Amino acid sequence: MLLGPTAAGKTDTAIALHERFDCELISVDSAMVYRGMDIGTAKPSAGELARAPHRLINIRDPADSYSAADFRDDALAAMHEITGCGKMPLLVGGTMMYAKRLMEGVASMPPADPELRETLRRRGEAAGFEALHAELARVDPAAAEAIHPRNRQRLIRALEVYRLSGIPLSEHWRRQQRENFPWRLLSIALAPHDRAVLHRRIAERFEAMLDGGFLAEVATLKQRGDLHADLPSMRSVGYRQAWEYLEGAYGLETLRERGIAATRQLAKRQLTWLRRWPDLHWIDSSAPDVWERVAKIVRDHGS
């Protein structure tokens, strides 16, 4: 499993591992699952995907939902298929919740109820999502403490779970039993040791996205008419800010500032997750011999 913050260089390293060790790649990215969201997700190019196909990319329409439970089912199925052919799966990405759920399993909870979810969303828009958060605090204080009032997706899901099952979301997770992960796992984290290097890469990549047609990509999605800003796909980092820009909420310079700031915040959260990840091999992605270091760890793991 090759993990790391955004803009750390995971894709290039994963492709090199695929070509050197003949491993099969599985994306661990909650935004790359969506079709038509290519530039803003830094999705591997058509040429890169031809060299090194990635599973679990372009498997959902942006109007659809895709959960950590969905990912776990899909990833396990892909891993069984790959190992059944005598090859090694390589999971690569930065959605740490997906990686954690893959390892530990997913709590048994009621499936989504689109009608209830829409009712909660409309109530939040009318009364304010702080009111929804206050309701969650009354029925599930532990979940309310962990979920920010601005995180509408998680807030609505927590209330949805409680209303459908009568059991608080936090209790569902307490009841969860850790599932056995049927493979020996090698976990590698790719990140620059110098945080300033990562920040520079994030800024440069966001500028490159804008130059590469990111706003046109989001405008095309917006023109479909069936997407809105509260969908999980459109709440992805960068897409939310671009959507607000296209709505006239602010100008281009503010878009740059907010897009880069949101990406830096994402990277900070990813690094926080990684510091708690067990048995992790850290690699400085800015080192000139980064590939040789990764390859040595993989060879040593297999011996």
What mean pLDDT comes out for the span 268-288?
Answer: 94
Statement to judge: residues 19 and 96 lie in one domain: yes
Tokens of 291: 């590939």
130 phi/psi in degrees, rounded to 5: -65, -30
Whether residue 178 has pLDDT greater than 90: no
pLDDT digits (tens, 9 = 90+) for 213-245: 999 999 999 999 999 998 999 999 999 999 999
Domain boundary among 137, 155, 175: 175
Task: Tell which wins on pLDDT, 106 or 24.
Answer: 24
Please work out, in degrees rounded to the nearest 5, the angle formed at the alpha carbon of residue 153 by the alpha carbons of 224 and 146.
Answer: 160
Q: Is the pLDDT of residue 177 over 60?
A: no
202 shares a domain with 251: yes
Whether residues 25 and 63 fall in one domain? yes
Q: Let me know: does 98 contact 30? Beta carbons within 8 Å.
A: yes
Same domain, 225 and 162: no
Quick one: pLDDT at residue 106? 67
The yes-or-no verdict on residue 68 having pLDDT over 90 is no
Domain-terminating residue out of 154, 175, 196: 175
Judgement on whether residues 170 and 153 belong to the same structural domain of the protein: yes
Residues 246 and 217 in one domain: yes
Position 176 scores a pLDDT of: 63
Q: Are residues 212 and 274 in the same domain?
A: yes
Q: Is residue 107 very low, low, confident or very high in pLDDT (cuts 50, 70, 90)?
A: low
Question: What is the domain-level CATH number for residue 252?
Answer: 3.40.50.300
Domain identity same for 55 and 171 = no
* 239-247, Cβ contacts within 8 angstroms, sequence gap of 24 or more: 239/31, 239/37, 239/40, 242/40, 242/214, 242/215, 242/218, 243/218, 245/215, 246/215, 246/218, 246/219, 246/222
pLDDT at 175 over 90: no
Cα-only R_g, the chain: 20
Residues 189-226: b if buried by 16+ CB within 10 A, e if exposed: bbbbeeeebbbebbbebbeebbeeebbebbeebbeeee
User: In terms of domains, do 130 and 170 share one?
Assistant: yes
Whether residue 91 is predicted with pLDDT greater than 80 in this model: the reply is yes
Same domain, residue pair 88 and 214: yes
Which is higher by pLDDT, 134 or 112?
134
> Has residue 212 got a pLDDT over 60?
yes
Average pLDDT of the chain is 93
In angstroms, the Cα distances linking 101 to 23, 64, 239 are 22, 20, 25
CA distances from 12 to 9, 92, 187, 291 (A): 6, 11, 17, 9
| Relative orientation angle of helices 195-211 and 252-275, to the nearest 10 degrees | 140
245 and 208 co-located in one domain = yes
Strand order through the sheet with 187-191: 54-55, 24-28, 89-93, 2-3, 187-191, 280-284
**pLDDT-derived band of residue 46, with 50, 70 and 90 as boundaries?**
very high
Q: What range defines the domain where residue 281 resides?
A: 2-106+178-302
State how many domains the chain has.
2
Q: 148 and 227 in one domain? A: no
pLDDT of residue 263: 97
pTM of the model: 0.80
Q: Which residues contact 123 (CB under 8 A, 6 or more apart)?
A: 131, 132
